[in-house]
Amino acid sequence: MGAALANRLTLSFASAGLAIASALTLSHASNVPLPCGGGSGCEKVAHDPSSAFMGIPVSVFGLVGYALLILLATTRLLNRPVLKTKQDNVLAAAGISLVGVLVSGGLTWYAVTHIHATCAWCLGSACMMVGSLLANLYLLRHVEQIGDRIRTGPLFLWFAVPAMVIGTVAIKGERGQTPVVDLSSVNLNIVDYGDVERTSHSFGSSAAPIVIAEFGDLMCPACRDMHSRVLKFLSKYPTKVSLLFHHFPLAAEEGHELSIPAAEMSERLDQTDFWSFVNQVYESPTKPTKEDLNQIESSLKGKRTMSTEEAKKAVRDAIALGNRYGIRQTPTYILFIDHKPVGVATSTNLAKVLSQSQFAAIIRGR
């Protein structure tokens, strides 16, 4: 492989990586899943706490890294390196690529060993980083062979083609994506606001015209990911939207063995400590163990409002109501306007449903 080819490959790898990182970031922001080869691994990885660092999606850091690689590759190909020499330019690109490979490798290892899933898009990004590192390492040994300035036309092809291909896959996949579970099982005709309120815990103004009734599981990765987003939405419209949290532990699923014990612990707490417990569970950097749950509960000094048996019955009643309504996955959101059920959503489309005219008119107009 000649230095000229390696030089152009660095731009292609960075361009493809930028497209992948952009698709992942947009998917995270819009709650619309990307195509994942027919599997659910991408969703599991996306909803795990490891997919964000200090509240920022990891894909954003990848996006910045690829943008820097494109800048370095483009200016080098145009014979206008941003650093003092071409060797410094290639060395900086190799360093960025090495950091990307290490981060991607670590995240892939964590996904396989802890989440027990893989994300095709994340693996694709890792491959782009590996390709970029290898090409830049080759250039370090042949930096004196890097050619002079090339024409803008061919440069555009090396930059645009991989980005366009990956962008097309992402857009087509997003448009054709269907919910993970068919929400048609939820029967809004039998949903009663009074029943939901009685078995739920409220957050926000009782006078809010829009109520989001969440059927959630404290051990659910998707619930964990959505919790902070829902609370942020409530804080933005405190007089327009409120939340009712309703336990629906999926105890039969792998990884949800502590769902019922966690729900029962929370039910024994008063309203203030209930939300402190839920927030700490969902904000935990890793899925809490039984010891973690005990520690969280013991740190809350408020009054215990239920006995153990009463808490168990409360959770059983909550599960029974969810089953009656046809709830099959968590989180499932039943949306009320003036205490009338008008819609249902899950983690992948809640933002889209709330943007509909009937909700938007209330948020902007009342």
Residue 87: which pLDDT band, with cuts at 50, 70 and 90? Answer: confident
Give the pLDDT of residue 90: 84
What is the per-residue pLDDT for 164? 65
Q: What is the pTM of this model?
A: 0.56
Mean pLDDT of 16-39: 70
pLDDT of residue 207: 92
325 within 8 A of 191, measured Cβ to Cβ: yes
pLDDT band at 178 (very low <50, low <70, confident <90, very high): very low
Mean pLDDT across the chain: 82
- Would strands 241-247 and 210-216 be described as parallel, antiparallel, or unpaired? parallel
pLDDT given at position 71: 86
Instruction: Calculate what percentage of the chain has a pLDDT beyond 90.
Output: 37
Per-residue model confidence (pLDDT) at position 152: 44
| Cis-peptide into 33, omega within 30 deg | no
What proportion of the chain, given as a percentage, has pLDDT over 70? 81
Who has greater pLDDT, 178 or 270? 270
Q: 290 is written with which tokens?
A: 């039984």
Q: What is the pLDDT of residue 360?
A: 86
Residue 179 pLDDT: 42
Look at residue 309 and tell me whether its pLDDT is greater than 90: yes
pLDDT at 293 over 70: yes
Read off the pLDDT of each residue in 282-310 and give the average, rounded to a whole number: 87
What number is the average pLDDT over the span 184-192? 90
- Of the pLDDT bands very low, low, confident and very high (cuts 50, 70, 90), residue 350 is confident
Higher pLDDT, 343 or 4: 343
Domains contained in the chain, CATH given: 3-176 (1.20.1440.130), 183-365 (3.40.30.10)
